[in-house]
Amino acid sequence: MIKAPYGSWNSPITSDLIVAGSIGLNEIRLDGDAVYWVEGRPQEQGRNVIVRVDGDARIDVTQKPFSARTRVHEYGGGAWTVDNGVIYFSNFSDGVLYRQKGNAKPEALTPAPAEKGKGWRFADGIIDRKRNLWIGVGEDHTAGNAHPENYIVAVDLANAPSAPRIIARGHDFYASPKLSPDGEHLVYLWWDHPNMPWNGTTLESVALDASGAPQGEPRTIAGGVAESIFQPEWLPDGSGVLFVSDKSGWWNFYTYDLATAKTRAICPKDTEFGLPQWVFGLSTYAFVDAQRIVCTYSEGGLGKLATLDLAGGTLAPIALPYSAFGSIRANQNTVVFRAGASDKPVSFVRLELASGEHTVLAKATELADRPQIAACLSMAEPIEYPTENGLAAFALFYPPKNAEYEAPAGEQPPLVVMVHGGPTSAAQSALSLGIQYWTSRGIAVLDVNYGGSTGFGRAYRDRLHLSWGVVDVDDCVNGAKYLAAQGRVDGGRCVITGGSAGGYTTLAALAFRDFFQGGGSHYGVSDAAALAADTHKFESRYMDWLIGPYPQEAALYRERSPIHHVDKLDKPVIFFQGDEDMVVPPNQTEMMVDALRAKGNAVGYFLFAGEQHGFRKAGNIQRALDAELYFYAFEVFRTGLKY
C-alpha cells in the first residue's frame, strides 16, 4: 500500500466516470407483467426517458425530443403512468399531456400553451377506463402568475386535445387521486397554506357521476392541519382505504371502512412507513393480495423491506442486501422497487416473494462492479451523537477508504459535512459516487440527519419548527465535533456543503458558528426574507413554519440570513447556481458572492446555463464536483492534491 496523507490519494472514481456512467433511476411501474421505469440521462441534457423491459431488452419508449418530466409544485414527480400498454406522460418542454401507443408518435391530449410557460402542468395521473378519462393533478399557469391554481382535473381521452375539466377545487394543493375498484368513488389529498404536506393534509372521498363529475359533498376520511396523510390506496375489494398517517407521532398504517366510517391502526410501531411529499409519485407500499402488502420503512436512518399482514398486523422483514428502498409496486407474487446500499448503486429490482429470489433489472451505474472501484467503497455507519438541549442527533458517517492507500500513523482525515436539502428530507444510504468521490481520496464524509429530518418520527421533524438556521446548524457542528473528539477526523480541516436548504445551513454555519474552515453552497438560500417573498407557490409559506410569518418577523429573518452577516463570514466559500432556478433565484446567490468578494474572501462562483433547482447536465455535474474538490484542497485542506 502507498503511504500518503489523507486527501492526497489518487482515486479511480473520477468525475468524468461518474457522469459518463451514471443515469437517474426514478419511478418504476408494473402494467400487468410488463415493467416500465424512468431514466434521467445527464448525457442527454437531463432528458427523462420512459423505458420498457421486453425480455432481456430495454426499449426506450419516449423518443427525442420528448422528456417525461413535470414542474407541478416545481419539484414535479409523477409525470407519467401506463395503462394496458399505453403510456401517458407530461412533456417537460411544453407541459402538454401526451398519450403514446406502442412505438407510435405521441398524441397531444391537452392544448399547447399559447405562450411558453403559460399553460397547464400535469402530474400524478391515473386512468379511468370506465369513463375514458385521465384524472390527476392540474396546475393552471395560463395567467402567468407566480401563484397558479391547483386542482384535481380530468382530461377527456376520446376528444384530444381537450382542456382539462376541474373535479376538485377550493384548496391550495392536491395530490394522490385514486379511483375505487368499481370506479364510483375518488379519494385524494389536499392541504392549504401555510402547511406543507408533512405538516398536515386531509384525505377526502367523493362520489363521481357517469361523466366523472363530483356527486354530492366530499367525505373527510382522515387528516387535518396537524396530521400528515401519505399514499392513500383503495383496498382491493373496494370496502375501504389504506393510508399512512402520523397522528401517533410516527407515519403508520391505518384502514378506513366506508360502511362503518371507522379507522383502525395496523401494526402500530415507532417506525416511519411514510415520506415527505416533496414530489409526486412516491410509493412506500403496494398490495400483494387482498390482505397483504409489501412495504418499506426506516429505522435509525436505514431502510428495510417487509410484508405486512393487514388482518393480524404482522410485519415480516425480507432479507435483502439493500438499505434504501422506494417506488414499491406489486403484482400478485412479483414486487418491483428501487433499492440501493452504500456499496450498491440505486437499482431497479424484481423480487419473487414465493422464492425470495431477486433480480437486478437496471443500475444507475455499473462502476461499482469494477474491482478497482469496489475496493474503494466506504460503507455508511449510522451514528447517534449528543447535540444541544440534552438531545441526540443522527447521521451517516463514511470513513476514508482506498485499497491502494494508507495514511501516516497519527494523522486524521479532513471532513466534508454534507447537508441534505428540504430541509424536511433525509440522508440516503444508497451508493453515492458523489460521496465516494471524497472518501476514496482520503476525505471523510458525514451525511447529517439534523433535527427536522424525516425517518425519526414527528417530534424529531418538529425540532426545526421556527428554528431553521439554529437546530440544523448546531446538529451539523456537533456531529463534526463528535467525530473530532473521537479522533476519527481532523477538527481543524472540516468543511460543510449542501444544496438548496442544505446550502442555507452551510452558509448559516459559516456565518454564525466559528467551527468550519470553508464550505460549498449549491443553489443555497442566503436571504431568508427574499426566499419568503420571491419563491414559488408550493414553498411560499414554508418559511412561516421554519422561521415565522413574514413580514411580521422581519427582524428574525434578518438575524437568520447569512447575507446580512457577511462581516462574520471570513472563510472560503464556493457557490454553484442554475440560471433558471425558480426556487432559489440566481440573484440571491449573486448578492452573497458580490458581498464576500467585496470584503476580500476567497470565493468561487459557477452559474450554469439551462439548469434549474439541481443540476441534470453531465458537464455541469462534472465541473461542480471537480471545482469543489480543488477549491477545498487549495483553500482549506492543503493536502498536496495533484492538479
Residue 69: all three cell numbers together: 418530466
pLDDT at 534 over 80: no
Of 169, 150, 278, 280, the C-alpha closest to 539 is 278
Q: What is the mean pLDDT of residues 504-522?
A: 97
Tell whether the model's pLDDT for residue 541 goes beyond 90: yes
Average per-residue pLDDT for the chain: 95
What distance in Å separates the CA atoms of residue 205 and residue 130, rounded to the nearest whole number? 18
pLDDT at 643 (0 to 100): 38
Q: Determine the pLDDT at residue 531.
A: 84
Is domain 375-637 classified as CATH 3.40.50.1820? yes
Q: Which range among 52-56, 103-107, 218-222 shows the weakest confidence by mean pLDDT?
A: 52-56
pLDDT over 90 at 375, yes or no: yes
- Where are the domains positioned within the chain? 285-364, 375-637
C-alpha cell at 79: 409525470
Q: What is the pLDDT of residue 615?
A: 87
Is pLDDT at 642 greater than 70 in this prediction? no
Report how far residue 191's alpha carbon sits from residue 184's, in angstroms, rounded to the nearest whole number. 23
* The pLDDT of residue 171 is above 80: yes
> What is the reported pLDDT for 45?
85
Class of residue 389 by CB neighbours under 10 A (exposed 0-12, middle 13-18, buried 19+)? exposed
- pLDDT band for position 587 (cuts 50, 70, 90): confident
Count Cβ neighbours within 10 Å for each residue of 338-348 and write b for 16 or more, e otherwise: bbbbbbbbbbb
pLDDT (tens digit per residue) in 294-307: 999 998 889 999 99
Give the lowest-confidence range in 21-25, 175-179, 595-599, 637-641. Answer: 637-641
Q: How many CB atoms lie within 10 A of CB 618?
A: 20
Residue 639: pLDDT band (50, 70, 90) is: low
Of 69, 141, 66, which Cα lies nearest the Cα of 100? 66
How many whole angstroms separate alpha carbon 494 and alpha carbon 412? Answer: 11
3-state secondary structure of 81: strand
Residue located via cell numbers 377550493: 170
Cα separations in angstroms, 510 against 335, 454, 513, 526, 619: 45, 24, 6, 11, 28
Q: How far apart are CA 474 and CA 478, in angstroms?
A: 6
Phi/psi at 386 (nearest 5 deg)? -75, 145
- Cα of first residue to Cα of last residue in the chain, in angstroms, is 22
